[in-house]
Structure 1
Amino acid sequence: MTLLTLVSGPTGGQSVSRVYTRTGDGGTTGQLYGGRIEKGGALVEALGDIDEAVSALGVARAGCGDERMSEILLRLQRELFVVAADLAVNPKHRDRLKPGISLVEPQLITDIEHLIDELTEERPLKPVFLVPGTTPLEAALDLARTVVRRAERHTLRAKDDGHVVSEPVRHYLNRLSDLVFILARRAADEAEEPASHE
């Protein structure tokens, strides 16, 4: 079962009776509030990347011993479900989206920007490119960051292909990758991260 299936399937706390539906056997997948789109298109690529980002952040959270960071990561995972719903909706039914549940609002971007500012004030960044892999948590976060960047690229491609992509969704994904980069540096703790060159 994919994230798209979850955002376009049963809502309101209904249980899922089975994982397979057979409705996608023809190469299409359902949109939130009706309609179907090709599984091989850019929009579904973007949704798949967002699904992967949720899981990648989950890997990082599973190995996180910092309570504050763990809470931030869970919050980001949940926000990505909102992003997916905003992207997956049938454009004719955008009026049915709900802020914080299926609609990305500018406040989400503002909140991320404030958190980035707060974290970089606590621990300023070094002006060098860094090689991931200093700690397991840092490496997991840097991998998640690259998945978010891919989600952003595929989202922009979906927009170029004519799909409705809201400005807040685009901005959210861009700021999210910045935040995950900051969190990765924090996860390196006091260890010296190797630079990209000697």
Structure 2
Amino acid sequence: MDIYTRTGDDGTTGLLYGGRVRKDDPRPVAYGEIDEAQAAIGVARAHAAASVPGGAHVADSSDELVELLIGLERDLWVAMAELATAPGNRHKLSAGTSLVTADMVSSLEAAIDDVTSRFEAPREFVVPGETVVGAHLDVARTVVRRAERSALAAADEGSQVGPYLNRLSDLLWALARWQEGSSRTTRSVDGA
């Protein structure tokens, strides 16, 4: 199979279940930003799964985090599939496979509640970067926020993509704080 098809050389891209749109159409812009968010989560996952010096695996919370992040990456494929489908083909989507569901949003809310019960939430803005994993989770969070803004222009009426991305960014914030253990707040930075 060739990686290149040349079909996009004219500045268009194919949609799931047919049709072509310009690459700067709101749909490919939005699912492209979700693709970027998925990659950013993958970087956080890779760091969470890394070994510590001496070959010992970083255990406990990192194993749980890796599994959670893999599930989030899978869910983002669902969101991308939904946004890559023209409104006339929406009836062909399958809940949880190519269509984001309210249950997927509820699942994120349950994960947020679980994770936030493990630490005392900062009462002011935090300075990202206390740990490598936390920093990568914060980068992923900001990419998800951008994707959420783009999805507003692309999602069909009644879509759960927007709420899903909104909760996902909240979850990534919570995961970053959990992984840091103790967050540096803006007031603790000299000159603030």
| Interval containing the TM-score (normalised by the shorter chain) | 0.7 to 0.9
- Matches of residues 79-118 of structure 1 in structure 2 within 5 Å? 79-118=75-114
Please list every run of at least 4 consecutive aligned residues from structure 1 whose deviation after the TM superposition is greater than 6 angstroms: none
TM (norm. structure 2) is 0.87
1:151 lines up with 2:147 in the alignment: yes
Scaled by the length of structure 1, what TM-score is found? 0.85
161, 168, 172: which one pairs with 1:169? 161
- Contact 2:140-2:172 at 8 Å conserved across structures: yes
Name 1:26's counterpart in structure 2: 10
Deviation at 1:193, TM superposition (A): 2.3
Q: Which ranges in structure 1 are unaligned for 5 or more consecutive residues?
A: 1-16
Are the structure 2 counterparts of residues 165 and 76 from structure 1 closer, same or farther at C-alpha, using a change threshold of 3 Å? Answer: farther
Letter in 2 for 1:168: Q
Counterpart of 2:34 (choices 43, 50, 57) is 50
- Secondary structure of the 1:26 match is coil
Range moving further from structure 2, 130-139 or 94-103 = 94-103
Structure 2 unmatched ranges of 5 or more: 49-57
SS in 2 for 1:134: coil
Q: What's the counterpart of residue 125 of structure 2?
A: 129
Deviations 1:31-77 (A, max 9, x none): 10000111112222211110101100000000104110000000000
**2:187 corresponds to 1:197:** yes
The 3-state SS of whatever aligns with 1:22 is coil
2: CA distance between counterparts of 1:61 and 1:141?
Answer: 9
Equivalent-residue separation in structure 2 for 1:179 and 1:103 (angstroms): 20
Identity, % of aligned pairs?
45
1:196 Cα offset (Å): 1.8
State the partner residue of 1:12.
none
Aligned length: 176
Is the partner of 1:70 in helix, strand or coil? helix
Tell me how large the CA RMSD over aligned residues is: 1.3
